[in-house]
Amino acid sequence: MESILRIYKHKSYEEYLAAQTKKNVRKLSRRWIWGKDIRAITKHAKANIPSIDFGICHGVRNGLEVHEFRKHLETNIIGTEISHTATQFENVIQLDFHNIKSEWVDNVDFIYSNSFDHSSNPEYCVDQWMKCLKKDGICYIHWSKDHNIRRLDAADCFAATRDEYQALFNQKYHVVDEIEVKRVKRNRTYKRVVFAIKHGS
Ligand SMILES: C[S@@+](CC[C@H](N)C(=O)[O-])C[C@H]1O[C@@H](n2cnc3c(N)ncnc32)[C@H](O)[C@@H]1O
């Protein structure tokens, strides 16, 4: 079936890599994830994953969520980052998250990403991440309005609504929860949702 997802068509892999790297370098000190997000995901993971021995966060920029999840989940978590800046940060490896390592297959309890909108091939990407997940593991993928921007470019290359994310994950896997997180800043309320995705029984 032909995909109906909104995806920017890169001319080459070099264009994709250069765009991601340029944006990463420009925003290197920024953080997207909130403390509230980390606390909500930690609480859910502790209550719903039987044992967390190894986790991966994908597209981590300066590795903040890696550091936070290692602390709160008290386990071995690493991060992937496509940009060469990865080497500056502890427990972060330079890797395109579409290219999973063979030793990760069926071996990961916890996966988290808020960078799914940077995937050049979301259907393939979610399959790769889910391949790594153990039977009882959970893959957490963040969605907010930031993930449904109107104008795509070579860096922010995939946009979809909350319902489209849900439908994509439910095609082959199960969204077992949608964790909603709200934050009020300067009288405005911002809402985000984290999809908790598992393998079927
Ligand atoms: C929105 S930022 C991440 C923000 C960070 N997770 C946070 O919460 O502050 C997206 C990051 O994903 C990285 N990225 C983009 N495509 C990637 C890929 N294919 N593999 C690994 N990292 C990628 C970008 O370089 C960028 O640092």
- Asked whether residue 96 is assigned to any structural domain, the reply reads yes
Residue 3: the pLDDT is: 61
Q: Give yes or no for residue 113 CB within 6 A of ligand 1.
A: no
Instruction: Please give the model's pTM, rounded to 2 decimal places.
Output: 0.97
| Residue 118 located in a structural domain | yes
Question: Which parts of the chain are beta strand (E)?
Answer: 6-7, 54-58, 76-81, 92-94, 108-113, 133-144, 158-159, 174-185, 188-198
User: pLDDT tens, 37-96?
Assistant: 999 999 999 999 999 999 999 999 999 999 999 999 999 999 999 999 999 999 999 999
Q: How many domains does the chain have?
A: 1
Identify the CATH number of the domain in which residue 128 sits: 3.40.50.150
Q: Rounded to an integer, what distance in angstroms lies between the CA atom of residue 159 and that of residue 71?
A: 31
Per-residue pLDDT at 42? 98
Q: Which domain holds residue 118?
A: 8-198
31 lines ligand 1 (CB under 6 A): yes
For the Cβ of 64 lying below 6 angstroms from any atom of ligand 1, the answer is yes
Q: 1 lies in a domain?
A: no
Our mutation pick for probing the ligand 1 site, out of 118, 143, 145, 158, counting the most ligand atoms within 8 A of Cβ, is 118
| Residue located via tokens 């395109």 | 96
At residue 201, the pLDDT reads: 67
Residue 2 lies in a domain: no
* Residue 17 within a domain: yes
Closest CA to 151 of 141, 159, 143, 163: 159
The mean-pLDDT minimum among 13-17, 21-25, 34-38, 183-187 falls in 183-187
Average pLDDT, the chain: 96
pLDDT value of position 185: 87
Residue 3 lies in a domain: no
Q: Which residues pair with 178 in a beta bridge?
A: 195
Express each pLDDT in 141-186 by its tens digit: 999 999 998 889 999 999 999 999 999 999 999 999 999 999 998 8
Position 2 pLDDT exceeds 60: no
